[in-house]
Amino acid sequence: MTNAHPRTVPTRRQLLTRIGILAGSGALYQAMTAMGHAQGTDFTAPPVLSGVKPGTRVLVLGAGLAGMLSAYELRKAGYHVQVLEFQNRSGGRNISLRGGDTVTELGGATQKVGFAPGNYINPGPWRIPYHHQGLLHYCREFGVALEPFIELNHNTWLHSSEAFGGRPVRYRELSADFNGFTAELLAKAIDQHRLDDAVSAEEREYLRTAMQEWGRLDAGLSYGKGALSSGMRGYDRAPGGGPDGAPTFSTPFARKDVMRSGLWTWLAFHQRMDMQTTMFQPVGGMDMIGKGFNRQVHDLITLNCKVTAIHQDDRGVRVTYNDMGHGGVVREAQADYCVCTIPLPVLSQLDVQVGAALRAAIMAVPYVSSVKMGLEFRRRFWEEDEQIYGGISFTDQQINQISYPSNGFFSRGPGVLLGGYMFGPAAYDFAGMTPAERLEHALAQGEVLHPKQYRKEFSNGVSFAWSRVPWSLGCCSMWNEQARKTHYKALCAMDNRVVLAGEHASYVGCWQEGAILSALAAITQLHKRAQGVG
């Protein structure tokens, strides 16, 4: 008798879909990575810019990473470069806050950072993925020392107000139970021939064995209390020495509670390529990168320059600005070409003489709001009391997460946590509060994860609301699919003698790597135009 529905070999997309349905988004992303769907950024080496006409002048607007890198590579190629920066410092969104620093927001609210010497918080970028090779290349070239950033820590907390009675659970507990129950379901589905249409007989055996190992299943393909599960999720009584050293096995959560908790979302979070290990941070604070770039081009930068207009014609570019270091006097800078790295929410408000396509692109890309909370505590209780060394705890409360420092392990004295990292609606809510109100909300929500120590050990804190920062008016660009389709190429293309750079002019938005790659693309276009080939 012939089969009325002959078996066909599933396509990759079909197999990925089935894996996603059965095992969830975390397993799906792992499968995508294994099949080669995840890729790093496209940096290979800096561009080689040769044959520069002597005396060709370039004006760079903004001394963030994109602006400073543009200036560095252009000067190295032989261009005459001038950089105008709005702030009284270079580095842009690459910033660290330390004791004695002052933060003044739109509206006038001012905070003075009270951290102890050596402590800091990074309100902008705070980690570097291993595949951001452009940024890593220049860190190496400019002598910026890096150290590991601990993204994933199995001993941190996961919390949902609606799960497990509102009690936080350890990442390792939830991870072990979710993987174990999922593996059990898949392994038993294989035994019941429910995946026969998706995989061959040989693959079924491999997959069955893989699920048994991955989920720590017993001989009957079940996940439950015992040595196998406790070796992943932890023990009620840890193994010890001597006659009474035998451990006590822990009891997994109920499968229905694990599955309906939603906490498995955070398991998938760390599997995204931009969150995978190894990640890095500069030794001493993220602004060490900005300082490293600044050392290369500091003599080209004029600070406290508030640009008001960018005009161009077939002969060159004229930029009007207020010299805030000299009473706001109006000045004008001229050059043959211009690289503009001004954040789009600010640039959209200036008198910019560019074509309709670029102007529409500048207006089309909003910047997302973000708020970070830096909280200093009298001691590193997360290490001393809870054995948490780096990593991130997640919560469904507005603060979203608590990140523990990846440096200074075992040190005595005060330590600083990232006590909240908010995007979108929660960020706007916090931005609308006073700094004192933000601290109170961060403490109230943080003590749900650390009830015994949070208020008792708290010393001082600072908040940074990017939507209230006058020189950026937001954290970073937030493209949507339609805007990219309509405006991205126009935003990145050279408009006569003006070209834009910054993370907004990349597919690596909200990352420093986007600034690096956009700058290299921008100066390559500029050089071709100057050579008469673009």
H/E segment holding residue 373: strand 370-377
The verdict on 347 and 315 lying in the same domain is: yes
Asked whether 155 and 170 are in contact (CB, 8 A), the reply is yes
For residue 189, tell me if it sits in a domain.
yes
419 with 516, same domain: the answer is: no
* Domain contains 62: yes
Q: What is the dihedral of CA 129, 131, 132, 133, to 10 degrees?
A: 140
Q: Note whether 357 and 498 are same-domain residues.
A: yes
In which residue are the tokens 């470069």 written? 81
Give Rg (Cα) of the chain: 27
Final residue of a structural domain among 468, 503, 518: 468
107 in Cβ contact with 251 (< 8 Å): no
Among 233, 264, 295, residue at a domain's last position: 264
Q: Is the domain of 283 the same as that of 401?
A: yes
The enclosing domain of 65 has a CATH number of 3.50.50.60
Whether 379 and 497 map to the same domain: the answer is no
- Domain of 237: which CATH number? 1.20.1440.240
Does residue 399 share a domain with residue 329? no
**In this structure, is residue 487 part of a structural domain?**
yes
Domain containing 211 equals: 172-264
- What is the token pair recorded at 430? 């916090």
User: Domain check: are 455 and 372 in the same one?
Assistant: yes
Token representation of residue 423: 């995007």
Burial class (CB in 10 A: 0-12, 13-18, 19+), 417: buried
| In-domain check, residue 512 | yes
- In whole angstroms, give the CA distance from residue 95 to residue 392: 21
Q: Which pLDDT score, from 0 to 100, does residue 5 have?
A: 39
42 inside domain: no
The per-residue pLDDT for 534 is 65
Q: Count the domains in the chain.
A: 3
For residue 228, how many C-alpha atoms fall within 13 Å in the half-sphere facing its CB?
A: 17
Mean pLDDT, the chain cut into blocks of 10 residues (534 residues total): 40 44 38 43 91 97 98 98 98 98 96 98 97 97 98 98 97 98 94 84 90 96 97 97 96 98 95 94 98 98 98 97 97 98 98 98 96 98 98 98 98 97 94 98 98 98 97 95 97 98 97 98 98 84
* Residue 451 and residue 507 in one domain: no
| The one-letter amino acid at 196 | D
> Does residue 196 share a domain with residue 244?
yes
SS3 content of the chain, % helix, strand, coil (to 5): 35, 20, 40
Separation CA 125–CA 274 (nearest Å):
13
Q: Check residue 193 and give its pLDDT.
A: 85
Cis before 278? omega within 30: yes
In a domain, 17, yes or no: no
Same domain, 355 and 483: yes
At 260 the pLDDT is: 96
130 domain residue, yes or no: yes
Instruction: Clarify whether residues 183 and 253 are in a common domain.
Output: yes
Q: Residue 387: is it exposed, middle or buried by C-beta count within 10 angstroms (0-12/13-18/19+)?
A: exposed
Tokens matching residue 187: 């392994």
177 and 247 in one domain?
Answer: yes
